[in-house]
Amino acid sequence: MQQAIYQFQIKSQPLTCKAFGNGNINYTFLITTESGAQYILQRINTHVFKKPIQLMENVIAVTKHISTKVDDPNKVLHFVPALDGKYYYRDERRRYWRCYEFVGGFCLEAPETDADFYESAVAFGRFQEQLADFPAACLHETIPNFHNTPDRYRQLHIAMDEDACDRLQYVQREVDFLLEREQEAGSIQRMLESGEIPLRVTHNDTKLNNVLLDQRTRKALCVLDLDTVMPGSSLFDFGDSIRFGAATAPEDVQELSRMSMDLHRFEVYTKGYLDGCHSLTNREIELLPLGAKTITLELASRFLTDYLESDHYFKTQYSDHNLIRTRAQLKLVQDMEAKWDQMHRIVESYMGR
């Protein structure tokens, strides 16, 4: 770590280095220098991101494009080149590091007010707007087929056929629920492939804690954690925000009666997202509710696949943890379906604004 920071073109001598944040993937440190300038130093987790050079090519291309669209330097991440001019450093143990300027601000794990949730929506909508003219197809897929819902279902079918842990007999109701909606769940991917909706730059981890808020105004500054930036659909980014931010209970809640979708939060986020992004097509806007439903079905299928395959992907705290997660997501889908007409009325009320 101490060797790595000296491999980047920082402006003055480092004084302190301490662990920073609570991310679960990369290893993150805050560097303070003699001049008072601060930097974030990160070691990229190559077990998760197996092609870190391609990852950094995506990140740099996207941030450089956004920098041409903003007049406030705090509204985009600024990565620091290494001594050789590259935006990463590989040490003698073949570990990959990167460094970017630290922007003062704060992140929230959950919204404290509707305004916080609105600001996160504005941030991700603005991110989409800033990259509307970026050639998304030129980006690498850092995690291939990440939001390819039909492929996620394909993996579920394989897990069902193999039934490696003899668990299929306990989950027939969950399987039936997912399979009844398989065709609908794959429709966004088919619309992408046919060109009915455009291929866009997507963030793919649109949680509130990936939005940097201004300390004084609590307004959104910029979007963080660009490791999963890839080509995809805006509907998935919107949908994941709703799945996470408008749910009334945690994704592993055992009391299913607690899990529903908060329509008010859905409206708050819809307004913020469309206030931030004016380039969505009418077809994309019409499909926003389907984005929320699809991404929730997709995650449920992933949880159930992992359960059938002996829990090797998602971290679990007890034997049925992935099954509990599956049931919570399916309950959320069920509630979306009960509120389907209301979701569409909310979206239509903001159409054309």
The answer to whether residue 51 scores a pLDDT higher than 90 is yes
Tokens of 29: 């440190």
Q: How far is CA 241 from CA 23, 98, 146, 172, in A?
A: 18, 27, 16, 29
- Output the pLDDT for position 307: 97
- Output the pLDDT for position 232: 96
Percent of the chain with pLDDT over 70: 98
Is-contact 125 274, C-beta < 8 A?
A: yes
- Output the pLDDT for position 20: 84
Terminal Cα-to-Cα distance of the chain (whole angstroms): 49
- Output the pLDDT for position 109: 86
| Domain extent listing, the chain | 2-101, 114-350
- Output the pLDDT for position 302: 97
Is-contact 129 277, C-beta < 8 A?
A: yes
Percent of the chain with pLDDT over 90: 87
- Output the pLDDT for position 77: 95
Give the architecture (CATH level 2) of 114-350.
Alpha-Beta Complex (3.90)
Tokens of 305: 């696949």
- DSSP state string for 267-300: HHHHHHHHHH-----HHHHHTHHHHHHHHHHHHH
Three-state DSSP at 245 gives: helix
pTM for the full model? 0.92
- Output the pLDDT for position 3: 83
Is-contact 10 102, C-beta < 8 A?
A: no
Class of the domain covering 2-101: alpha beta
In 3D space, the residue among 161, 190, 200 whose CA is nearest the CA of residue 294 turns out to be 190
pLDDT, tens digit (0-9, with 9 covering 90-100), for 299-346: 999 999 999 999 988 889 999 999 999 999 999 999 999 999 999 999
Q: 136: Cβ–Cβ under 8 A, 6 or more apart, which residues?
A: 199, 200, 201, 202, 231, 232
DSSP single-letter state for residue 8: B
- Output the pLDDT for position 1: 64
pLDDT, tens digit (0-9, with 9 covering 90-100), for 53-106: 999 999 999 999 999 999 999 999 999 999 999 999 999 999 999 999 998 889
pLDDT, tens digit (0-9, with 9 covering 90-100), for 235-274: 999 999 999 999 999 999 999 999 999 999 999 999 999 9
Environment class of 243 (CB within 10 Å of its CB; exposed 0-12, middle 13-18, buried 19+): buried
Residue scoring higher pLDDT (21 or 265): 265
